[in-house]
């Protein structure tokens, strides 16, 4: 029932208007609803909504509360409907990650999910923890995979002459050559080290060694900027290999990944510390048999935004590792390295010209100092500088100030709400940001259709009018790109190419990029970096924040804070307690006994992924000796009705399979004899 009218929602004469009239949807979101739920077909979208109004939470910009309001007001869905609880339960875990029972029920109360009958709807429960089922499946998959990782051999085959020559030509030192040697002969390797220690050199040499031998290589990274850097490095070193984001490599479409198996024999993931459990498992699950996986990163950087820290867990579990410690940066850049080491080791380094510390700043002078630093170290060459902060609130506020300094007279083209700066009447944002011609922007969400990826930065060029590109599902199940409605597009330049973003998706994909959070900065670096963090950072993430932010700078680093020197260094040295992750706790438990399955050995890996338990293939009887037993012998009990027959033919418990076959044949013979005797008595025979 809709607005008091009987009948299904999709019988409405104007489906677009019907969606637009839903509470909280309006002209801004209705196109997105049609595209995401109906693949561009408004009638199909309405069918989905009527079947389950909580499907709306799958649309960007619609949370559980908005979908809940629509479900209650337009579809008379009661508070105890299972669909409501399933959507709410999943929403909680998508926002908060894996939760204990107390936290989980506290979050349910906030959403007014009070019926305990559906407390587990849509989620998985294991040992008092509440999981999204796909998160639990990913962690269990990683556990099985990590248990089977072979250790690094004590002695490795030496590099061939061709491999050695490649390493020599790229100028690798002994430690770096040893890392290449380890990667060539190890199925999985963690290549670790801080900024400037030559990880890119090692990856380039490794890739060339594999390609020269006839192999294939693919580089990938979580963030778009990191993937761009890897691609640039491959081009600079003459590596004939592709480097993309993980989402692009796995063929992400609207409903998920579409690539089942990666074709390449060597997979290199840069900035691996950014990967949550589910994303690393997606890569591992798509590796071809025998493929090598190299995870490159710095375990001291910030943990992933999603659940899990699999890169650090691999290292702590004892996976093969090659660590690079020597730094190759120029002498005038060493001060930044010493700053980062001081944060890690809780020791203040000596002052350096390349590190500019503004501590104990009076709060009333922060804005003036920020403007001055942007004028001094900023400019319109956006690849040369970046401001980094901790919270989105600071990013929104200081983006407006940086824009006023760098691009005050740019032509306004678009605006988006600044939610972190507060809301007013009817929960509407108090402030908006203008996107102007010439502004610096950052991509905040992946789009394989537009070929833009999270973390990439660029410059606004202007507005153009053109048909919107849309993805449409084909009858055969695949996806094709088609032209949609004519509409204005924001044209931006990213990595030297122009990208046109549809007007109704600009807010979804880009924001001002003068000031970004440190999570957006991971995987990137700039010649000049300003760390603008006025107040204290939360103790459990402070050390990793300041370390990660500092190592984004290549030539010059500025740090701004209202904290005085001692207070700032105390905060910068704060870290979370060293507690094992849920994945490490699983690995600390005894490994489950493998199940013997009568399958061919090459199918074991696929069967384990399907069944979720460790397996071993039963021995092939034809591999045994000529005079041996051809089938495994398992003990069998004698049924009561066969005991007399068993005594007559001389077999006793426990029976082997071969003896059971003999007893069964004897019993069948007796049945046939009895049948013939009966037939004779009746005069048939």
Residue 78 neighbours by CB distance under 10 Å: 9
Residue 9 pLDDT greater than 70, yes or no: no
What is residue 629's predicted lDDT score, i.e. its pLDDT?
Answer: 47
Helix, coil or strand: residue 527: strand
Whether the link from the prior residue into 660 is cis, omega within 30° of 0, is no
Residue 5 pLDDT greater than 80, yes or no: no
Q: Which of 541, 579, 612, 582 is nearest to 100 (CA)?
A: 582
Residue 58 pLDDT greater than 50, yes or no: yes
Between 35-39, 130-134, 403-407, 492-496, the lowest mean confidence (pLDDT) is in 35-39
Residue 675 pLDDT greater than 90, yes or no: no
Residue 94 pLDDT greater than 80, yes or no: yes
What is residue 363's predicted lDDT score, i.e. its pLDDT?
Answer: 94
Q: What angle do CA 500, 243, 452 make, to 5 degrees?
A: 20
What is residue 3's predicted lDDT score, i.e. its pLDDT?
Answer: 47
| Portion of the chain with pLDDT greater than 90, in percent | 60
Instruction: Write the pLDDT tens digit of every residue in 543-555.
Output: 999 999 999 999 9
Average pLDDT over the chain reads 88
Q: Which of 552, 497, 561, 500 is nearest to 526 (CA)?
A: 552
Residue 676 pLDDT greater than 60, yes or no: yes
Residue 334: burial class (beta carbons within 10 Å; 0-12, 13-18, 19+): middle
Using 50, 70 and 90 to split pLDDT, how confident is the model at 488? very high
Do residues 543 and 343 make contact, with C-beta atoms less than 8 angstroms apart?
Answer: yes
Using 50, 70 and 90 to split pLDDT, how confident is the model at 632? very low
The larger pLDDT score, comparing residue 641 to residue 433, is at 433
What is residue 612's predicted lDDT score, i.e. its pLDDT?
Answer: 67
Q: Which long-range contacts (CB under 8 A, 24 or more apart) does 119-127 make?
A: 119/85, 119/89, 120/89, 121/82, 121/85, 121/86, 121/89, 122/85, 122/86, 122/87, 122/89, 122/90, 123/89, 123/90, 123/93
Strand partners, 256: 253
Q: How far apart are CA 371 and CA 404, in angstroms?
A: 9
Decide: pTM greater than 0.85: no
Q: How far apart are CA 191 and CA 321, in angstroms?
A: 6
What is residue 469's predicted lDDT score, i.e. its pLDDT?
Answer: 87
What is residue 673's predicted lDDT score, i.e. its pLDDT?
Answer: 79
Beta pairing class for 188-193 and 321-324: parallel
Residue 631 pLDDT greater than 50, yes or no: no
Residue 10 pLDDT greater than 70, yes or no: no
Do residues 469 and 482 make contact, with C-beta atoms less than 8 angstroms apart?
Answer: yes
Instruction: Write the pLDDT tens digit of every residue in 97-126.
Output: 899 999 999 999 999 999 999 999 999 999
Domains located in the chain, CATH noted: 15-134 (no CATH), 141-324 (3.40.50.300), 331-573 (3.40.50.300), 595-678 (no CATH)
Average pLDDT over residues 118-146: 93
Strand partners, 597: 617
Residue 508 neighbours by CB distance under 10 Å: 16
What is residue 626's predicted lDDT score, i.e. its pLDDT?
Answer: 54
Q: Which helix (H) or strand (E) holds 666?
A: helix 657-681
What is residue 664's predicted lDDT score, i.e. its pLDDT?
Answer: 74
Using 50, 70 and 90 to split pLDDT, how confident is the model at 654? low
Do residues 81 and 46 make contact, with C-beta atoms less than 8 angstroms apart?
Answer: no
Do residues 663 and 647 make contact, with C-beta atoms less than 8 angstroms apart?
Answer: no
The larger pLDDT score, comparing residue 640 to residue 542, is at 542
Q: How far apart are CA 45 and CA 30, in angstroms?
A: 10
Torsion angle, alpha carbons of 394, 397, 398, 402, to 10: 160
Helix, coil or strand: residue 373: helix
Q: How far apart are CA 383 and CA 457, in angstroms?
A: 8
Instruction: Write the pLDDT tens digit of every residue in 365-424.
Output: 999 999 999 999 999 999 999 999 999 999 999 999 999 999 999 999 999 999 888 888
3-state secondary structure string across 392-435: HHHHHHHHHHHHHHHCCCCCEEEEEECHHHCECHHHCECCEEEE
Instruction: Write the pLDDT tens digit of every residue in 618-627.
Output: 766 555 555 5
Instruction: Write the pLDDT tens digit of every residue in 290-301.
Output: 999 999 999 999
Strands of 61-132 (E only): list them.
99-100, 124-126, 129-131
What is residue 415's predicted lDDT score, i.e. its pLDDT?
Answer: 92
Q: How far apart are CA 459 and CA 442, in angstroms?
A: 9
Instruction: Write the pLDDT tens digit of every residue in 587-624.
Output: 999 887 777 777 777 777 777 767 767 777 776 655 55
Do residues 381 and 405 make contact, with C-beta atoms less than 8 angstroms apart?
Answer: no
Q: Which long-range contacts (CB under 8 A, 24 or more apart) does 105-109 make?
A: none
Using 50, 70 and 90 to split pLDDT, how confident is the model at 494? very high
Residue 635: burial class (beta carbons within 10 Å; 0-12, 13-18, 19+): exposed
Average pLDDT over residues 159-177: 94
Q: How far apart are CA 164 and CA 502, in angstroms?
A: 50
């Amino acid at each position: 029932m809709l607005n008091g009218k009987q009948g299904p929602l999709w019988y409405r004469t104007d489906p677009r208007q019907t969606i637009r009239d839903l509470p909280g949807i309006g002209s801004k979101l209705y196109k997105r609803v049609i595209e995401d739920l109906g693949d561009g077909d408004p009638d199909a979208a309405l069918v989905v909504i009527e079947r389950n109004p909580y499907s709306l939470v799958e649309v960007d910009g619609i949370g559980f509360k908005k979908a809940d309001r629509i479900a209650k007001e337009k579809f008379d869905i009661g508070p105890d409907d299972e669909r409501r609880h399933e959507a709410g339960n999943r929403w909680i875990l998508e926002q908060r990650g894996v939760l204990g029972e107390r936290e989980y029920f506290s979050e349910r109360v906030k959403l007014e999910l009070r019926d305990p009958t559906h407390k587990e709807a849509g989620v998985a429960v294991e040992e008092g923890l509440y999981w999204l089922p796909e998160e639990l499946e990913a962690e269990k998959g990683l556990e099985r995979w990590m248990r089977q990782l072979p250790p690094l051999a004590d002695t490795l085959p030496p590099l061939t002459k061709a491999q050695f020559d490649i390493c020599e030509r790229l100028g690798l030192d002994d430690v770096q050559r040893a890392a290449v040697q380890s990667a060539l002969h190890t199925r999985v390797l963690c290549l670790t080290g801080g900024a400037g220690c030559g990880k890119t050199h090692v990856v380039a040499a490794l890739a060339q060694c594999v390609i020269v031998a006839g192999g294939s290589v693919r580089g990938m990274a979580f963030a778009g900027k990191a993937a761009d850097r890897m691609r640039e490095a491959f081009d600079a070193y003459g590596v004939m290999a592709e480097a993309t984001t993980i989402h692009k490599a796995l063929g992400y479409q609207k409903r998920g990944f579409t690539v089942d198996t990666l074709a390449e024999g060597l997979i290199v993931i840069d900035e691996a510390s950014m990967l949550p459990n589910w994303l690393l498992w997606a890569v591992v699950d798509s590796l071809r048999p025998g493929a090598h996986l190299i995870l490159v990163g710095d375990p001291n950087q910030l943990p992933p935004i999603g659940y899990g820290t699999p890169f650090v867990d691999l290292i702590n579990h004892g996976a093969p590792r090659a660590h690079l410690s020597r730094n190759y940066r120029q002498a005038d850049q060493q001060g930044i390295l010493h700053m980062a080491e001081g944060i890690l080791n809780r020791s203040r380094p000596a002052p350096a010209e390349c590190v500019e510390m503004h501590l104990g700043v009076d709060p009333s002078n922060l804005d003036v100092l920020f403007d001055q630093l942007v004028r001094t170290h900023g400019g319109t060459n956006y690849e040369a500088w970046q401001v980094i902060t901790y919270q989105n609130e600071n990013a929104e506020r200081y983006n407006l100030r940086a824009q006023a300094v760098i691009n005050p007279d740019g032509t306004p083209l678009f605006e988006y709400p600044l939610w972190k700066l507060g809301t007013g009447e009817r929960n509407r944002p108090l402030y908006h940001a203008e996107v102007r011609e010439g502004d610096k922007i950052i991509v905040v969400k992946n789009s394989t259709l537009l070929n833009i990826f999270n973390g990439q930065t660029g410059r606004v060029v202007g507005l153009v009018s053109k048909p919107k590109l849309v993805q449409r599902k084909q009858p055969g199940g695949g996806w094709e790109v088609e032209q949609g409605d004519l509409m204005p597009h924001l044209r931006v330049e990213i990595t030297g190419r122009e990208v046109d973003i549809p007007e109704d998706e600009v807010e979804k994909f880009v924001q001002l990029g003068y000031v970004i959070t440190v999570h957006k900065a991971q995987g990137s670096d700039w010649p000049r970096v300003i760390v603008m963090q006025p107040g204290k950072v939360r103790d459990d993430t402070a050390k990793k924040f300041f370390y990660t932010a500092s190592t984004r700078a290549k030539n010059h680093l500025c740090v701004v804070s209202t904290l005085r020197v001692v207070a700032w260094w105390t905060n910068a040295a704060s870290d979370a307690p060293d507690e094992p992750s849920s994945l490490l706790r699983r690995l600390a438990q005894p490994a489950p006994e493998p199940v013997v399955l009568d399958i061919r050995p090459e199918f074991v890996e696929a069967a384990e992924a399907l069944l979720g338990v460790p397996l071993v293939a039963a021995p092939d009887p034809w591999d045994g000796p000529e005079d041996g037993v051809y089938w495994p012998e398992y003990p069998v009990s004698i049924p009561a009705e066969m005991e007399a027959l068993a005594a007559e033919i001389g077999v006793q418990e426990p029976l082997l399979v071969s003896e059971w076959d003999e007893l069964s044949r004897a019993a069948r013979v007796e049945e046939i004899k009895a049948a013939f005797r009966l037939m004779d008595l009746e005069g048939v025979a």
